[in-house]
Structure 1
């Protein structure tokens, strides 16, 4: 009778401890929107995993946002890094890693040396896969089904926190882009000089009010037109084919005659700066036009 009572007491204590632990696993200690890196989320996960299962090492792989590859981000303790990476590479080559990604539950496998086991669990949200946890544990350690279920709950919380971190990062990036765009529009519109933004073929994609005044036309009527149409010269010299800049080429500048939509001819100093994409391909240019009046000097100091 006494043994049965002791058993029930221990079972009740285990259930209460498990419920308390399960409650704590659902919360991330860090305020995700304030984080500068993902590592505090992993710190929090490791602390809770250590309280749950006596792992010898904790290894995390996260999915690279650009190429969708799994990349090793860290192993704790650090001295286990080489061992954990080598064993994980073997699991990748043998197909176990891919199997664990599909399973979305703990996958327990034995190491090549048979003295340890690995617990693999994908970090996955409802929308996408975010990474993989690989826990190293001595082969003699027993892991209960309850603890494996709690591990799934913990790593679901971790995956959601990682996803939130990257989403907040995207939002912050968009906010910076919006602020930069506001600053750009303010400078662009307040510029005294006429300003055009051209695509790679030389068509006007944007222009400021000063440019509209120079060309005596509304912006809506200028967008999509070739900038060369408003430069004086023989018709055959006004090509619709925009000369492509090379990456090493300096800005093109010099005097020109601008012909407005109403036929007004203005002498201007024209300066064109090329724009290149991330792959260094020519994407367009920014062009400025400054009125030249009698007595002006150009950038070489020559009186006009």
Structure 2
């Protein structure tokens, strides 16, 4: 036992007429309150293990509303609210939007109260605390309970409730349990947001994969089409190459044949029995073989590019040019014996004089061919020569008549001209 001095015993109560029940009533009230608190504590301990967890499958939710409904159900087991609302942070702009509230008719009231708390910076102070905060409403007629919905990483929203009971009736452990519920709600909302982002990413990834698969399929089809086109083009090019090779071979053969023919013709013209002379209209030699150079006694070295006047005798050059001018004027070939050669020394030569055209430039040239013949044994050649002489005479007389007809004549002169024309065989037009 304790050896310290014991206090004196209390004085005996004064005798009364009946039993004193006041002390017993206080003790009974105290016992009743203790029992209530005990039951509340036991109930709180039973709920503490489950208040922070939610039974929802977050990967199947399309909105946070089921989370808020389950949170409201848990809140009602601890505190009575006449109205409450959950404000959630909008991910797009960071503003607080009313996500769920009861009753539905109090939406404007909740938004007005929130705006007031934002303006006086009370809301910022509430969001920094991790426990319930009791405040008076704007008109002072109601008590508000506010609690942040926040995790370590960020704030998810805020809860605003209007107490439907006296604040003294709320036990202290209930406030701690409320914080547990709100913290669990905040973490569940964050998990829902992450799940939603993951779903969006998976959906976008699936769309991208599907697009890539379609693109790959289209690319394969395009590649196959291009490969088919390339094969066709390759085959066409191969055929064109083969055709070109055949054409080139044919061209080479034709060129070789042309060269052989040209060499043969050159040999014929140079060494044959036919004399060949080609002159342009100005009298420049375009071609001259050795035989005709000997027959006309051209100067040594006569060849293409040299004027006829420089290689032939003046009389011969003048006669040939005059004959060529007549040919250019009439465009008719001349046949007959060459009169400009010594028949005794060189024999008789048949001449063929005609116009040729250069296909490249379109210019005209005179080609003269001389072939050695015996006019005594060929009456046709003699007749041809005589006919050519008569034709030349008629052409000369016609030119003279054309000149004279342009000059005024008297009757005697006109009669004489008519007589000469009749002798020449020129018909009067």
Q: TM-score range by the shorter chain?
A: 0.5 to 0.7
Secondary structure of the 1:62 match is: strand
Q: Distance in 2 between matches of 1:140 and 1:211?
A: 82
Find the counterpart in structure 1 of residue 86 from structure 2.
Answer: 60
Q: Distance in 2 between matches of 1:130 and 1:212?
A: 56
8 Å CA contact 1:110, 1:139 repeated in 2: no
**Root mean square deviation of aligned Cα:** 2.7
Which residues of 2 match residues 203-218 of structure 1 at below 5 A? none
8 Å CA contact 1:117, 1:139 repeated in 2: no
Q: Of residues 160, 163, 167 in structure 2, which corresponds to 1:134?
A: 160
**CA displacement at 1:140 relative to structure 2:** 3.8
**CA displacement at 1:213 relative to structure 2:** 7.5
Q: Distance in 2 between matches of 1:25 and 1:164?
A: 17
Which residues of 2 match residues 1-304 of structure 1 at below 5 A? 3=28, 6-138=32-164, 140-142=166-168, 143-191=170-218
Q: Distance in 2 between matches of 1:104 and 1:213?
A: 69
Find the counterpart in structure 2 of residue 236 from structure 1.
Answer: none
Q: Distance in 2 between matches of 1:150 and 1:140?
A: 18
8 Å CA contact 1:38, 1:165 repeated in 2: yes
**CA displacement at 1:212 relative to structure 2:** 10
- Aligned length in residues: 203
Q: TM-score, normalised by structure 2?
A: 0.44
**CA displacement at 1:175 relative to structure 2:** 1.1
Task: Give the direction of change, closer, same or farther, for the CA distance of 1:7–1:50 in structure 2 (3 Å limit).
Answer: closer
Secondary structure of the 1:147 match is: helix
- Normalized per residue, which structure has more strand? 1
8 Å CA contact 1:26, 1:154 repeated in 2: yes
8 Å CA contact 2:41, 2:173 repeated in 1: no
C-alpha distance after superposition, 1:75-132 (max 9, x if no partner): 2111222222212211111111111111222121101221101111110112111111
Secondary structure of the 1:74 match is: strand
**CA displacement at 1:11 relative to structure 2:** 3.2
8 Å CA contact 1:61, 1:73 repeated in 2: yes
Q: Distance in 1 between matches of 2:84 and 2:36?
A: 29
- Normalized per residue, which structure has more helix? 2
Q: Distance in 2 between matches of 1:210 and 1:65?
A: 47
Task: Give the direction of change, closer, same or farther, for the CA distance of 1:181–1:150 in structure 2 (3 Å limit).
Answer: same
8 Å CA contact 2:58, 2:191 repeated in 1: yes
C-alpha distance after superposition, 1:135-189 (max 9, x if no partner): 1125844333321111110011101111111111111111112211221111112
Q: Distance in 2 between matches of 1:211 and 1:166?
A: 47
The unaligned stretches of length 5 or more in structure 2 are: 1-23, 231-429
Q: Distance in 2 between matches of 1:108 and 1:10?
A: 24
Secondary structure of the 2:138 match is: coil
Q: Which has the higher contact order (CA 8 A, sep 6+)?
A: 1
**CA displacement at 1:74 relative to structure 2:** 2.6
8 Å CA contact 2:68, 2:100 repeated in 1: no
8 Å CA contact 1:74, 1:81 repeated in 2: no
8 Å CA contact 2:75, 2:178 repeated in 1: yes
From the CA coordinates, give the structure whose radius of gyration is larger. 2
C-alpha distance after superposition, 1:186-228 (max 9, x if no partner): 1112215898xxxxxxxxxxxxx679979x9xxxxxxxxxxxx
Where has structure 1 moved over 4 Å in runs of 4 or more?
Answer: 4-8, 192-195, 209-214
8 Å CA contact 1:110, 1:118 repeated in 2: yes
